[in-house]
C-alpha cells in the first residue's frame, strides 16, 4: 500500500521505477566491449572498400524518415511532438532513408558514386519478432549513383565479408527480385491497391489465398498463371532456367540477367533463389539479397536495390545496400579480452601521479584502489627505493 509523505503518495515498492520496457535491454560491460570491437572492425572493413562513415541524427521530422510514405516503417516509427517547433518528430526505425537523404541533399554536389556506411541505434515501436529487440544496433553500407549489377555484387560481397568479420559461419545467400512481381502486376494492369494486396499475400507465402485472390479477378490468363507460379519458383540455381516459364517481358528478362550475373559472381556460395521472397520495405525496387544461417530463425542480414528513394528528398538516384543488427550476432563474437589492470593504493596516487599518467598514455589501465575492491588486477604500482615500479600482484 502507498504511504503519504508531505501530502504526496509514495509507493513502498519501487521496483517498477527501474524496469525497462519490453524488448529493451541493457548491454553489460563484457558484451559492450565485444560489440564495440566488432563495430570498429566492420567500419575498418568498410573504409578499405571506399565507404565513408556518416552519422545521421537519432530523430528528425517524421516525414523525412519515410514514416508517412512507407506503411511498414510507419508502424515501427515512434513519434513525438517537437516542443520547439510544434511539428511531429520521429525516432528513426531505419537508417537507410536517412543516408538516402544525405546523398540527395547534403552530398548533392557529387553526381558520381557515393559510398556511405553507418553504425547506430534505431528504435522500433514494436519488435520484428518474439525474440527481437526493439533497439537494434544497425550497421550497413550503401552505394549511390550506379545502376549496374556490378554495384549489387560489390555490396553482396561486402555483406558476406562483414558476416565473416563477426564470425558468422558460411551463410546461405538468398536472392530474389521484386521487379518480377511488379512487371507481372503492371502487365496484368492491376490497380496499385490490388497489387499491394497481392504483394502482401506473396510476402506471407499464403499460396492458397493467392490462388483464391487470383481466381476472384478477371486477369489475362497468361499473367494470372505467372503470378500463381511465382511461389513455386524457388530452389537453387536451377530456378534461373525455370524462369523461362514466365512471360517474356523485358523487365523479367533483365531481372533474370541480374540474378544470373550474381550467381556467376559467387560460384562457391550456397545460393537459394526465391521469386516470391518479397519481405522488404516498400522502397525496394529490384534485386533482393539476404544471408541466412542455421543458428538464426530469420535472415542475419538483408539488402537490395532501392532506386529512386532519394526522389523523396529531391534527387532520385540508383542505390543499393545492406544492413544487419550487430546485437543479433553478439553470441558469435569472440570473448572480450580481459583488461590487464594495474592497481595503485589511494594513499600513493598523488605521489605517483606522473607515473600513472605515463602508463595510461602507453595504453595501460591503471585504477586507484580505494579499499572497497576493484576487481581483478594482476599488477600493482608501488614505490621501491624511491622509484615507482609495476610489480606482480600478490
Q: Which CATH architecture describes the domain 22-170+303-337?
A: 2-Layer Sandwich (3.30)
Close Cβ partners of 293 (under 8 Å, ≥ 6 residues apart): 168, 169, 171, 172, 300
Query: Largest Cα–Cα distance in the chain?
Result: 97
Alpha carbons 176 and 31: distance in angstroms, whole number: 34
Whole-angstrom distance, CA of residue 123 vs CA of residue 55: 15
Q: Which helix (H) or strand (E) covers residue 289, if one does?
A: strand 287-292
Tally Cβ neighbours within 10 Å of residue 181: 22
Instruction: Say whether pLDDT at 9 is over 50.
Output: no
Mark out the alpha helices in 266-340 (DSSP H runs): none
pLDDT at 276: 85
Query: Which has the higher per-residue pLDDT, 370 or 70?
Result: 370
Q: Is the pLDDT reported for residue 47 higher than 90? A: yes
Residues of the binding site: 94-96, 138, 142, 279
Distance CA 35, CA 52 (A): 20
pLDDT, tens only, 156-193? 999 999 999 999 989 999 999 999 999 999 999 999 88
Report the C-alpha gap between 125 and 25 in whole angstroms.
Answer: 15
pLDDT exceeds 60 at position 8? no
Distance between CA 276 and CA 178 in Å, rounded?
A: 8
Is the confidence at residue 35, as pLDDT, over 80? Answer: yes
> pLDDT-derived band of residue 280, with 50, 70 and 90 as boundaries?
low
H/E segment holding residue 32: helix 29-48
What DSSP string describes 70-85?
-HHHHHH-EEEE-TTT
C-alpha cell at 6: 508531505
Judge whether residue 394 has pLDDT over 80.
no
Contacts of 358 (CB under 8 A, 6+ apart): none
Q: Distance between CA atoms of 242 and 114, rounded to whole angstroms?
A: 36
Sign of CA dihedral 375, 377, 378, 384: negative
**Residue 262 contacts residue 153 (beta carbons within 8 Å):** yes
Distance of CA 347 to the CA centre of its chain: 49
The fraction of the chain above a pLDDT of 70, given in percent, is 93
Return d(Cα 248, Cα 236) in angstroms, integer.
21
Residue 3 forms beta bridges with which residues?
10
Span of 72-86, 269-283, 295-309, 379-393 with lowest mean pLDDT: 269-283
Q: Check if the beta carbon of residue 110 is closer than 8 Å to that of residue 52.
A: no
Bridging pattern class, strands 271-274 and 387-392: unpaired
User: Taking 80 as the threshold, does the pLDDT of residue 67 lie above it?
Assistant: no
In which band, very low, low, confident or very high, does the pLDDT at 335 lie, cut at 50, 70 and 90? Answer: confident
Summary mean pLDDT of the chain: 89
Task: Read off the pLDDT of residues 119-135 as tens digits, 9 standing for 90 and up.
Answer: 999 999 998 888 889 99
pLDDT at 1 over 50: no
Task: Give span(s): CATH 3.30.930.10, the chain.
Answer: 22-170+303-337, 172-292
3-class secondary structure for 179-244? HHHHHHHHHCCCCHHHHHHHHHHHHCCCHHHHHHHHHCCCCCHHHHHHHHHHHHCEECCCHHHHHH
Indicate the range of 85-94, 272-281, 359-368 predicted with least confidence. Answer: 272-281
pLDDT tens across 76-119, in order?
999 999 999 999 999 999 999 999 999 998 898 888 999 999 99
Higher pLDDT, 258 or 314: 258
Which is it for the CA torsion 27, 30, 36, 39, positive or negative?
Answer: negative
Percent of the chain with pLDDT over 90: 67
Q: What is the DSSP string of 130-154?
A: TT--SS-EEEEEEEES--SHHHHHH
Confidence (pLDDT) at 284: 86
Q: Which residue has the higher pLDDT, 218 or 356?
A: 356
Q: Report, as an integer, the average pLDDT of 17-36.
A: 89
What pLDDT shows up at residue 91?
Answer: 94
Check whether 17 has a pLDDT greater than 80: no
Does the global pTM surpass 0.85? yes
pLDDT of 155 reads 98
pLDDT value, residue 299:
92
Query: Residues forming the annotated binding site for L-histidine?
Result: 94-96, 138, 142, 279
| Averaged pLDDT for residues 380-394 | 92
What pLDDT shows up at residue 5? Answer: 44
State the pLDDT at residue 55. Answer: 97
Q: How confident is the model at residue 32 (pLDDT cuts 50, 70, 90)?
A: very high
Show Cβ contacts of residue 115 under 8 Å, excluding neighbours closer than 6 positions.
49, 50, 51, 52, 141, 142, 143, 144
Asked if residue 214 lies in contact with residue 229, where contact means CB atoms within 8 angstroms, the answer is: no
45: left (phi over 0), alpha (psi -120 to 50) or beta: alpha
Classify domain 172-292 at the CATH class level.
alpha beta
Q: Is the pLDDT of residue 139 over 60?
A: yes
Amino acid at each position: 500500500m502507498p504511504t503519504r509523505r508531505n501530502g504526496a503518495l509514495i509507493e513502498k515498492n519501487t521496483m517498477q521505477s527501474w524496469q525497462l520496457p519490453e524488448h529493451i535491454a541493457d548491454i553489460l560491460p563484457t558484451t559492450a566491449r565485444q560489440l564495440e570491437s566488432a563495430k570498429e572492425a566492420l567500419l575498418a572493413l568498410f573504409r578499405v572498400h571506399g565507404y565513408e562513415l556518416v552519422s545521421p541524427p537519432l530523430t528528425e521530422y517524421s516525414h523525412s524518415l519515410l514514416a508517412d510514405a512507407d506503411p511498414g516503417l510507419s508502424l515501427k516509427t515512434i513519434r513525438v511532438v517537437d516542443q520547439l517547433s510544434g511539428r511531429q518528430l520521429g525516432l528513426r526505425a531505419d537508417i537507410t532513408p536517412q543516408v538516402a537523404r544525405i546523398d540527395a541533399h547534403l552530398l548533392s554536389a557529387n553526381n558520381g558514386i557515393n559510398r556511405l556506411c553507418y553504425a547506430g541505434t534505431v528504435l522500433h515501436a514494436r519488435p520484428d519478432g518474439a525474440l527481437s529487440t526493439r533497439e537494434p544496433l544497425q550497421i550497413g553500407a550503401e552505394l549511390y549513383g550506379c545502376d549496374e549489377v556490378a554495384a549489387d555484387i560489390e555490396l553482396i560481397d561486402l555483406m558476406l565479408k562483414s558476416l565473416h568479420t563477426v564470425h558468422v559461419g558460411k551463410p546461405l545467400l538468398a536472392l530474389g527480385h521484386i521487379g518480377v512481381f511488379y512487371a507481372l502486376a503492371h502487365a496484368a494492369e492491376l490497380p496499385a491497391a490490388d497489387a499491394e494486396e497481392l504483394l502482401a499475400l506473396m510476402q506471407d507465402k499464403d499460396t492458397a489465398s493467392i490462388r483464391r485472390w487470383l481466381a476472384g479477378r478477371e486477369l489475362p490468363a497468361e499473367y494470372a498463371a505467372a503470378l500463381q507460379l511465382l511461389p513455386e519458383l524457388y530452389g537453387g540455381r536451377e530456378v534461373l532456367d525455370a524462369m523461362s516459364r514466365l512471360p517474356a517481358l523485358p523487365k523479367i528478362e533483365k531481372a533474370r540477367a541480374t540474378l544470373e550475373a550474381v550467381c556467376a559472381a559467387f560460384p562457391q556460395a550456397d545460393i537459394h533463389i526465391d521469386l516470391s521472397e518479397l519481405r522488404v520495405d516498400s522502397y525496394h525496387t529490384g534485386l533482393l539479397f539476404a544471408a541466412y544461417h542455421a543458428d538464426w530463425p530469420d535472415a542475419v542480414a538483408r539488402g537490395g536495390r532501392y532506386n529512386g528513394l532519394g526522389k523523396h528528398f529531391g534527387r532520385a538516384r540508383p542505390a543499393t545496400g545492406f544492413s544487419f543488427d550487430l546485437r543479433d550476432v553478439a553470441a558469435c563474437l569472440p570473448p572480450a579480452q580481459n583488461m590487464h589492470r594495474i592497481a595503485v593504493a589511494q594513499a600513493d596516487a598523488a605521489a605517483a601521479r606522473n607515473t600513472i599518467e605515463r602508463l595510461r598514455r602507453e595504453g595501460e589501465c591503471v585504477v586507484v584502489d580505494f579499499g572497497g575492491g576493484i576487481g581483478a588486477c594482476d599488477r600493482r604500482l608501488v614505490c621501491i627505493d624511491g622509484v615507482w615500479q609495476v610489480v606482480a600482484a600478490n
